Amino acid sequence: MKRPSPGTGFTLIELLVVMGIIIIALAALVPAVTSLSKSGGRRAARNALLGGIEQARAEAIKSGQATYVVFPTFTGGVQSTLDRYNYRSYAIFEDDAAHPGNVRQLTDWKSFPTGVALRAAAYVINGVNAGALLTYLQDPGWNPQPPFTPDLSTTPVLRCIKFNSNGEVQAPITPASTVYLGVFEGYVNSGAEVATTRDGSGNPSAVEYVMVSQFTGRAIPADAVSTPTPTPGP
């Protein structure tokens, strides 16, 4: 049997060099893939918000009853509930014409993709609150408040955008006639934003915004603006 000639195949050093190149390439690729996944999550959450807001607006016009896009926030509770719903979900409710003073839930609680959350408070420009975001929305003021069906052991603090029968934003009322919502990479802990990346002013730097016109109720994607008008609190 003929023996292989010297020099055929790979030496151990050559294999190690190739493996090293592959490891370096993977190390460079993983952050890019992760970043792409998170940006996709932001856009998916933004698009879900756009769809939910339009659904609530259309339902208000169709039914003649006020509708609400409701966002749950929590000060404590089971960690699995916080991870899935705290500043990370919404549901649509409607005034119940058959039972005045009560509301009925039109959709399940819809959660956003992993790694993103709704902005909790105004972003800061030169030390001044400049963005109208979730904590500036109003509590719907329901009494009694409907049970939070995903976790009956907790009662979230609710924030909402309310539409009247003309499809206009009835609450909150803003001086600029515009409501802003933002989706950022990170999460909210005890009301404080914990962002994956921040800009030079300390604000989350990876954000998708939604702007809702008070007069038309229409929601559109929006860029971060330098001088937005804050939404007054309740």
What's at 224, amino acid-wise? A
**Within a domain: residue 230?**
no
Cα-atom radius of gyration of the chain, to the nearest Å?
24
Report the pLDDT value the prediction gives residue 215, as an integer from 0 to 100.
93
Assign 3-state DSSP to the chain and report helix, strand, coil percentages, each to 5.
25, 30, 45
Is residue 133 within 8 Å of 195, Cβ to Cβ?
A: no
What pLDDT shows up at residue 227?
40
- Do β-strands 219-222 and 116-118 pair in parallel, antiparallel, or remain unpaired? unpaired
Whether 2 maps to a domain, the answer reads: no
Q: What is the pLDDT of residues 91-114, one digit of tens each?
A: 999 999 999 999 999 999 999 999
The encoded tokens of residue 141 equal 């003021």
The three-state DSSP-derived secondary structure of 1-28 is CCCCCCCCCCCHHHHHHHHHHHHHHHHH
Please report the pLDDT score of residue 107 as a whole number: 98
CATH number of the domain enclosing 134? 3.55.40.10
Q: Domain for residue 232, yes or no?
A: no
pLDDT score at 180: 85
Between CA 88 and CA 110 the distance in angstroms is: 8
Residue 59, CB-side half-sphere exposure with 13 Å CA sphere: 21
Residue type, 22: I
Residue 19 lies in a domain: yes
Please report whether residue 4 resides in a domain: no
pLDDT at 128: 47
pLDDT of residue 132: 52
The answer to whether residues 53 and 212 touch, using CB atoms and an 8 Å cutoff, is: yes
Distance separating alpha carbons of residues 158 and 2, to the nearest angstrom: 81
Pair 145, 155: CB distance under 8 Å:
yes
Q: Which residues of the chain have pLDDT under 70?
A: 1-10, 25-38, 122-132, 175-176, 224-234
Structurally, the chain folds into a number of domains equal to 1
Question: In 10 A of CB 137, how many CB atoms?
Answer: 25
**Any domain includes 54:** yes
User: What range defines the domain where residue 166 resides?
Assistant: 13-222
Q: Provide the CA 130 distance to its chain's centre, in angstroms.
A: 19
Predicted local confidence at residue 222, as pLDDT: 84
Average pLDDT score, the chain: 83
8 falls within a domain: no
Q: Note the pLDDT of residue 19.
A: 77
pLDDT of res. 6: 56
Q: pTM higher than 0.85, yes or no?
A: no
- Residue 99: inside a domain: yes
